Amino acid sequence: MDKIVSLCKRRGFIFPDSEIYGGLANTWDFGPLGAEMKNNIKKEWWKAMVWHRDDVVGLDSAVIVNPKVWEASGHLSSFTDPLVECKQCHTRFRADYLKEGKYGPVVEKEGVFYCPLCGGELTKEKKFNLMFKTYIGPAEETANIAFLRPETAQGIFINFKKVLTSSRKKIPFGIAQIGKAFRNEITPSNFIFRTREFEQMEMEYFISPEEDKKWYDYWKEIRWKWYLSLGMKEENLRQRPHQEKELAHYAKEATDIEFKFPFGWSELEGIHNRTDYDLKRHQQFSNKDLSYWDEETHQKYIPYVIETSAGVERSLLAFLINAYTEEQDKNKETRVVLRLHPKIAPIKLAVLPLLKNNKELVQTARDIFLKLQRQVDYLIDYDEVGSIGRRYRRQDEVGTPWCVTIDHQTLEDQTVTIRDRDTMKQERIKTEEITHWVEEKLCINSL
Ligand code: ATP
């Protein structure tokens, strides 16, 4: 984990936020490469969930919505974590994590728990609501309290009817959304794994109540395969069904897709059978009819919902860990390689003149780079600083799958070498074939 954190900082994937002011605990900013990789993950998700299907459409709903939404959804009363505080050092802990030993050995005497940091007595558990509060307008009055959304899903439920009619869909169909969510977590931790501000990729699939088992199983498999299609190693993933006592207030059944993080198996994505809970509650609180008329079966019902809910940052962290490798080269030097799937790699291609001090090579390389930049719809890089070997290493370390090198032969016959990050093998192709060559590899690499 330390190696990943240091690589992320050094190479511009992820920085501590507000560092010039001493930082803000557990808050991170995504640098140039991190921003690219995040966008790539979101794009691949959107492609798989929306573009490549005719039964799912996209949505982009508001972060701050009418507070009644949270009353109806149950978040105002139930979106809580159990909180305890040390009477001595005033550190706060999540009681469930404390009892599981996540903060260290559990010390309990006659029903009283003690602080894992200073040994002081802990307060009794109280419920702490994770929603961030804010005020709408200039008056900070109770009547104006609003919340930052803790999940993107509710934006989907409140728009369900309008999306259904405007897109002329029939059940079964889904609505997908990517966006920020905010949770005032008691103990954010593990780099970008648990933060107070994060992005979710959520999809709610509306179905007939009789078919919930079928679609629940279907989406577990589809989502599992998505990770594999982007290079996730199967041994790093597992599915963990929730036990009844850990089910969220809206769920009938749930499974987590977990990743083997250095700090243990932890959730990447949740697949939930939310039943008709949300639509029913919104119908009740809004007094608007949210039922569905099924033309085929001539039945009216409130649809059931299967949800797939993934975190962008958690996925990014998992993909980085999954890809990180260290190898010894023939000179016994360590080569760090991010074996990222090309589709999520921040830079797809780097253009390198063999020598920096040869004007003709540099000019030709620049020309090829500038032309390619306008032809492709992914990020490419140009680098002329340092020996060619060092430049290859720099690209390996950030996961660039291919490097194009312009050498003396290029000047004679307009061919270049193209080097593969993983095999380090080079082949010679015509300059005009570069884009086609890359496009083909990108397609071959998908499931
Ligand atoms: P946890 O048990 O880890 O708090 P959760 O079960 O509350 O997570 P969900 O409500 O199912 O999580 O959220 C769906 C997804 O959103 C999670 O699988 C995760 O990828 C992401 N997510 C949730 N909370 C956070 C957070 N605090 N920081 C980063 N990502 C998060």
Provide the residue ranges of all domains of the chain, joining segments of one domain with +.
Answer: 2-67+150-321, 347-444
Q: Which of ligand 1's atoms lies nearest the C-alpha of 202?
A: 14
Ligand 1 pocket check: which of 309, 317, 319 to mutate, most ligand atoms within 8 Å of Cβ?
Answer: 309
Considering only CA atoms, which residue is closest to atom 26 of ligand 1? 194
Q: What is the pLDDT of residue 445?
A: 55
Query: How far, in Å, CA of 406 to CA of 418, rounded?
Result: 9
> Which stretches in the chain have pLDDT values below 70?
444-447
Note every long-range contact of 110-115, with CB atoms under 8 Å and residues 24 or more positions apart, other chains counting: 113/84, 115/86, 115/88, 115/89, 115/91
Contacting residues for 127 by C-beta, under 8 A, at least 6 apart: 80, 81, 82, 83
- Cα distances (angstroms) measured from residue 210 to each of 156, 216, 294, 301, 376: 22, 12, 13, 11, 46
Q: Which of ligand 1's atoms lies nearest the C-alpha of 185?
A: 27
- Both tokens of 423, joined, read 């095999």
In one-letter notation, the amino acid at residue 258 is E
Q: What is the pLDDT of residue 189?
A: 85
Question: Which class for 82: exposed (0-12), middle (13-18), buried (19 or more C-beta within 10 A)?
Answer: middle
Note whether 2-67+150-321 and 347-444 share their fold: no
CA of residue 404 to ligand 1 center, whole Å: 40
81 by DSSP, 3-state: which? strand
CA of residue 142 to ligand 1 center, whole Å: 29
Q: Is 269 in the pocket of ligand 1 (CB under 6 A)?
A: yes
CA of residue 190 to ligand 1 center, whole Å: 13
Q: What is the pLDDT of residue 447?
A: 45
Contacting residues for 395 by C-beta, under 8 A, at least 6 apart: 347, 350, 381, 383, 403, 421
Ligand 1 pocket check: which of 194, 196, 265 to mutate, most ligand atoms within 8 Å of Cβ?
Answer: 194
Q: pLDDT tens, 194-220?
A: 999 999 999 999 999 999 999 999 999
Q: Which CATH architecture has domain 2-67+150-321?
A: 2-Layer Sandwich (3.30)
The pTM for the full model equals 0.95
Q: Is 314 in the pocket of ligand 1 (CB under 6 A)?
A: yes
CA of residue 311 to ligand 1 center, whole Å: 7
Considering only CA atoms, which residue is closest to atom 28 of ligand 1? 194
Q: pLDDT tens, 334-381?
A: 999 999 999 999 999 999 999 999 999 999 999 999 999 999 999 999
Q: What is the pLDDT of residue 248?
A: 82
Query: How far, in Å, CA of 270 to CA of 314, rounded?
Result: 12
Q: Are 303 and 208 in contact (CB under 8 A)?
A: yes
Query: How far, in Å, CA of 376 to CA of 399, rounded?
Result: 18
Q: What is the pLDDT of residue 331?
A: 84
Q: Is 11 in the pocket of ligand 1 (CB under 6 A)?
A: no
Query: How far, in Å, CA of 433 to CA of 389, rounded?
Result: 24
- CATH number belonging to domain 347-444: 3.40.50.800
Ligand 1 pocket check: which of 267, 274, 306, 315 to mutate, most ligand atoms within 8 Å of Cβ?
Answer: 267
CA of residue 45 to ligand 1 center, whole Å: 17
Q: What is the pLDDT of residue 24?
A: 94
